[in-house]
Every structure is written in structure tokens, then in C-alpha cells.
């Protein structure tokens, strides 16, 4: 039918309907022979009518490699904007068509053009976990620090998806480890929030700032709140401040206590966390431990010199909290501590 219409002098560049031109329709449907005939008759390869962008974008969307090759040989514009994904390169990446991406790169496609749902081509590749494509883009000069997309940057995007190998490639290409993102603060905070220990390690090795914090708190606060013991240990080894104040619970120690992360509590105490700092929801670390009924942690705090007589919070002292809530074992522990202190005071007076 197409051959007959062409013989009768049909306008090969007439456009309309869902697919636009005849060439666009043939490209999206994968009709290689018809595409060849239309190109032979001088069809405009860069018409971009209809719903799916240009003929090149149509062919890419469906993965018709042979047609893509034919269109490129006829001078199809590799950088034309349009279609569902914004450009031909974005189309190819979204569909994971590695060979087509390679062809477009050989034709000089702009690797840093922005557009579509994911921002840059690099972010698009990262979203889909297309490691090989991401590598190709980086080799062609993709900007690792370009901003945009849902998470703000390529590095943040890779972290959000847990793509460890891509994160490694981005860092090797100079991605800024301390650039702020849109939702989780810095890259390190984001990795911790997601629980990606290996990625957090890589970021720390590249100089991620352990003290940086925004509305979501510091990296150490993130690690403690989420119970990521290994990450908390790394941060402490890198010099994170154990007494940094902030957050709902006032201190890092209180946060660890409330969440009952005993190993983290132990690490904080070993690193010199102040057991008597006041503030937060429960008044002090000891009061928080008593309120939550964490007998073992109460013992740890008392061994580190927690003040049993410090008042604050809703119920006053730790002893009053224990009595009010019926924490009898803790009441006994606290009374023994009070008695010991009183005895030491009498001996000192004598």
C-alpha cells in the first residue's frame, strides 16, 4: 500500500494524527522496508509531529536498531528535543538500549543536555541502574555535578537507588561529596538514611563532612536514629561530635537510648558522651532510660556517673519517673545509688 501511494505521488512529508508523518509511523512500527523507501524518496528525517517526537525518537523507543542506523545516516538530528523522555539520548537510556546509546554518542549527541523526567542523561541512566550506559556517558564527559532531577544530583540519585558501582564511578570522576541535596541533606546523610554502609564508607574515604547537618540533623544523628551501628562506629572514628545537640531527643545519647540501640549507647559512652547533659523530650539521658524501662542502660549510665538527683522533664527526677511508672527494679537501682552517694558524702564530712 505504501509503495502504491508513493508511486501515485503522495506527499511523503504530510503530517497528522497520532504518529505524525509517514516516516514517523513507519519508524515506530518497525517497518524497515517502508522507512527505506520513504528515505529514498526524500522524506524529512527531522519532522517531529504527533505524540512520540521525531522519527529517530520513535525508532529508539521501540528499539528498532536498523531503522535508527538508517535515520542517522540520513542526518537525523540527534539533539532534537521532544518526545516522552525529552531527547533521543534520553529515550535510548530510558529503554536501556546500549547499542543505540553508543550510536548516538558516536554521532556527537550532547551528553549534558537536560530535559525529561530525570533531569540529565546521566541521572536517567542511574535511575534505571544502567551501569554500562552511565560509564559510557562519563567517558564522553557527562557532568557529574550537574544539578537537577528528583534528588538534586547524579550522586544523590545513585545513592537513593543503592547503585554502589555507579557511586564509585561518580566519585572517581570528581563528584562533590559534600554538595547538598534536595531531601536528605548531604550525600553522606542520604547514604546513612538508606542504610548503604558500603556507599557511606566510600563517601567518608572521599572526605565527606561528618559534622554537616541541615534540618534532618547530622550524619551521626541519622545513623543513630536508624540504628546503623557500623556506620555510627565509622563516623565516630572520623571524629563526629558525640555531644552535638539537636533533634527531638536533645542529644545523640538520648536518641540512642530511646531507640534502645545498646551497642551505639556503649560506643557513645566510650567516646565521652556527656551523661548529664540536660534537654530533649525526657530531660536527660538517665530519665530517658528510666522512662523507657531500659534497665541495662540505666546501669551503664550510673556507672558513668549519671546524676540521679538531676530534675527535669515531665516527672522531675529519674527516681520519681521510675516510681510513677512502676519500674521497681530501676527504683531499687536508683535508691542504691542515692544511698551510696549519701554514704560517700558522710564519709567525706567525717
Convert the pLDDT of each residue in 185-200 to its tens digit. 789 999 998 999 999 9
The pLDDT tens digits for 171-185 are 999 999 988 776 777
Condensed to tens digits (0 to 9), the pLDDT of residues 267-303 reads 999 999 999 998 888 889 999 999 999 999 999 999 9
> Which CATH number belongs to the domain containing residue 77 in this structure?
1.25.40.20
Whether pLDDT at 8 is above 50: no
Burial of residue 317 (number of CB atoms within 10 Å: 0-12, 13-18, 19+): buried
Residue 227 lies in a domain: no
Q: What is the pLDDT of residue 345?
A: 59
pTM here?
Answer: 0.82
Distance CA(178)–CA(191), nearest Å, equals 12
Distance in angstroms (rounded) separating the CA atoms of residues 180 and 213? 10
pLDDT of res. 218: 82
C-alpha cell at 52: 512520540
Report d(CA 239, CA 271) in Å as an integer: 10
The answer to whether residue 102 scores a pLDDT higher than 90 is: yes
DSSP class of residue 130 equals -
Q: Are 210 and 221 in contact (CB under 8 A)?
A: no
Q: Tally the domains of the chain.
A: 1
What does the pLDDT look like over 219-263, one tens digit per residue?
A: 898 899 889 999 999 999 999 999 988 777 889 999 999 999 999
Q: What's the whole-number mean pLDDT along residues 121-147?
A: 95
- Which pLDDT does position 17 carry in this prediction? 63
Decide the pairing of beta strands 213-214 and 15-16.
Answer: unpaired
- Pairwise CA distance, residues 197 & 204, whole Å: 11
Residue pLDDT, tens place only, 293-340: 999 999 999 999 999 988 877 778 999 999 999 999 999 999 998 877
Does residue 147 fall inside a structural domain? no
- Asked if the model's pLDDT at residue 48 lies above 90, the reply is no
43 domain-assigned: yes
Where in the chain does DSSP place strands (E)?
Answer: 15-16, 20-21, 213-214, 217-218
Residue 7 has pLDDT above 60, yes or no: no
**Can you give the residue range of the structural domain that contains 57?**
1-110
Per-residue confidence (pLDDT) for residue 5, from 0 to 100: 46
Q: Quick check: is 33 in a domain? A: yes
**Average pLDDT over all residues of the chain:** 88
Choose among 222, 217, 301: nearest CA to 257.
301
157-166 pLDDT, tens digit per residue, is 999 999 999 9
- Residue 159: inside a domain, yes or no? no
Q: Give me the sign of the Cα torsion angle 202, 208, 210, 213.
A: negative
- 20 secondary structure, DSSP code: E
Amino acid at each position: 500500500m505504501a509503495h502504491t501511494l508513493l508511486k501515485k505521488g503522495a506527499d511523503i512529508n504530510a503530517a497528522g494524527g497520532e504518529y505524525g508523518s509517514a516516516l514517523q509511523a513507519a519508524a515506530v512500527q518497525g517497518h524497515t522496508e517502508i522507512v527505506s523507501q520513504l528515505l529514498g524518496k526524500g522524506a524529512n528525517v527531522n519532522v517531529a509531529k504527533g505524540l512520540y517526537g521525531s522519527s529517530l525518537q520513535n525508532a529508539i523507543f521501540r528499539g528498532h536498531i536498523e531503522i535508527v542506523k538508517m535515520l542517522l545516516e540520513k542526518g537525523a538530528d540527534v539533539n532534537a528535543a521532544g518526545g516522552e523522555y525529552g531527547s533521543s539520548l534520553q529515550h535510548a537510556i530510558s529503554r536501556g538500549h546500549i547499542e543505540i546509546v553508543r550510536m548516538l554518542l558516536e554521532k556527537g549527541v550532547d551528553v549534558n543536555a537536560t530535559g525529561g523526567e530525570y533531569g540529565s542523561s546521566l541521572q536517567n541512566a542511574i535511575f534505571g541502574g544502567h551501569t554500562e550506559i552511565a560509564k559510557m556517558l562519563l567517558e564522553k564527559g557527562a557532568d557529574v555535578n550537574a544539578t537537577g532531577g528528583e534528588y538534586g544530583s547524579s550522586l544523590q540519585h545513585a545513592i537513593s537507588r543503592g547503585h554502589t558501582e555507579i557511586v564509585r564511578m561518580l566519585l572517581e570522576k570528581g563528584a562533590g561529596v559534600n554538595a547538598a541535596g534536595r531531601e536528605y541533606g548531604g550525600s553522606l546523610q542520604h547514604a546513612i538514611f538508606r542504610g548503604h554502609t558500603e556507599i557511606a564508607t566510600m563517601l567518608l574515604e572521599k572526605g565527606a563532612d561528618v559534622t554537616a547537618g541541615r534540618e534532618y540533623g547530622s550524619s551521626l544523628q541519622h545513623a543513630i536514629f536508624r540504628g546503623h551501628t557500623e556506620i555510627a562506629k565509622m563516623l565516630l572514628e572520623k571524629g563526629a561530635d558525640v555531644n552535638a545537640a539537636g533533634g527531638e531527643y536533645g542529644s545523640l545519647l538520648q536518641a540512642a537510648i530511646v531507640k534502645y540501640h545498646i551497642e551505639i549507647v556503649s560506643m557513645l559512652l566510650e567516646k565521652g558522651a556527656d551523661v548529664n547533659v540536660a534537654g530533649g523530650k525526657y530531660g536527660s539521658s538517665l530519665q530517658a532510660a528510666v522512662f523507657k524501662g531500659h534497665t541495662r542502660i540505666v546501669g551503664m549510665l550510673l556507672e558513668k556517673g549519671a546524676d540521679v538527683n538531676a530534675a527535669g522533664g515531665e516527672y522531675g527526677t529519674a527516681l520519681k519517673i521510675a516510681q510513677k511508672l512502676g519500674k521497681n527494679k530501676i527504683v531499687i537501682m536508683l535508691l542504691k545509688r542515692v544511698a551510696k552517694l549519701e554514704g560517700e558524702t558522710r564519709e567525706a564530712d567525717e
